[in-house]
Chains A and B, each alone.
Chain A
Amino acid sequence: MERLPLVTTSPQIHAPGSTRRVMGWVLAALVPAAVWSIVLFGWRAALVITASVAAAVITEGLLNLAFKRENTLNDLSAVVTGVLIGFNMPPEVPVFIPVVASVFAIAVVKWSFGGLGSNWMNPALAGRVFVFFSWGTDMTRWTLPGIGGADAVSGPTPLGSVKLALSDLSAGIDGPMRLLESAGMPTTYLDLFLGRIPGSLGEMSALLLIIGGLLLIILKIVNWEIPVAYIGSFALFMWAFDGMQYGGGIFSGDVLFHLFTGGLMLGALFMATDMVTSPLTLKGRIIFGLGCGLFTFVIRRFGNLPEGVSLAIIFMNILVSLIDRFMKPTRYGVVS
């Protein structure tokens, strides 16, 4: 025999899979949405996404070098963080903003805690919220997508327009879609679904995000519990309580509008599901998802910040350790 067989501790076989493979599939699932954002917004979208990925990767690489840690770039997690930060930026954002967001995400939120797996808050979202509160004006300047993006016109997001229009609401408008129409932004559900609305780069098309998300669920890269609990509870709250702003009764909210606008799909499928920053157990993940749904609803319905999804998820990140503590599986042969 040319070389000695391996000596290892049991188990002697492993399910196929590795961190790199997990991250690789997440990236693959994000590709359609990335391509679509470049189609809609042009080279600017590509620039923003590239800049945030580059900043994330370089930051991680430099920190590894400076602190003599082993190279972790191969696990691709920094790339995922970078892409998601790019996805969370408005198209016309000055490039320094995604760069700062990536540096903050990797250096402060991830590396300080020990790198991949040790951070308790979602790095990309923390980075996004950090730059949002720092440069709010730049982070809330939207452009209307147009194929090629050449002559993009500036305008608020549907959620933003609805919030504005609501403040001087006159009678007879029975929902957000009608409100948009009266605000001079007639929009169809299909527009929302395909992303023909202003918004962050990656959250444009609910359709493409759902396809990517389903792929990850089918491959068992992400668990179904969080997306289902999150989207489900959010839809329920919106259906039950959102209609009241428009003078409707209970259970008259426009669920479709809220499901397909803003970052809900991106957040629920790709960000709340980051395993590092979500609970370990099934019960825990369901509670986490419900919490995200509730807080997203509260912030969207009552708050003025256009940040429901990001803030709800990072708020629930705080609770993950406690959820894990109390939602442990019942142990065999141990009566509590």
Chain B
Amino acid sequence: MSEGFQPGLDFDAARTAADDGEALIVDVDGYEGPLHVLLALARSQKVDLLKLSVLKLAEQYLVFVQEARRRRFSLAADYLVMAAWLAYLKSRLLLPKPEQPKGEEAPAEEIAARLAFRLAKLDAMRTASEALNTRAILRRDVFTRGDPEAIRVIPSGRIEGDLYSLMSAYIGQRTKETSRRYTPPVVTTYPLEDARDRLRRMLPDLDRWTPLAGVAPFGPSDQGPSRASFLASTLSASLELVKDGAMEARQLEAFADVFLRATAGRST
């Protein structure tokens, strides 16, 4: 994924850094990458881009990169790749033509012509972009009717909501879904220690069989441990006391009530 890597190559970032005074300032004048630099160099030759001397251009570009590196300008990889590529093209252009063209390799002149074509195209797009901006732009140069209250005719057939808004709607929800958290309410329970202490205090009064439900405490119904928790903790605590011999428990049949009483003759 190039996402994490690409921003480092971004010249906007470099410019921001320059604005902050953090980086060496090299006037790149909005150049965004190798083609733009080439284009700027080509323009300075004041020639028809399609009849450009790519050789001359390559030399200038290599000088530009050299110079920029000398000033410790942290060059983006893009620039170096293009520099290497141009150096290769330059060498091909300078070398005498081999008698037989090697393999599928296109002639250097043709590659140079294509590069010139791309520059011409990029140049055309920049000019076009400027031409668009000199047009009568809505709400900058021309204005439509201003009174929203008085609008009474609404054009039909206009699509409300395009694909982009559909995608945004979808992603908005999926993102929500992945960040959704389930936080169950914390259940408060009746601590076993409390049940044990309470039972010990009650032992002197438990001289006859008492149902568990009568022994377990009642808490406030709207908060704190539930009735079931009181019952369960009290039962557990009582079984511990039975094991210690301080208490007796009995249940006459399955699912019947559990009865508790203090062991006769032992009172603590």
Q: Do A and B bind each other?
A: no
B-binding residues in A (CB < 8 A): none
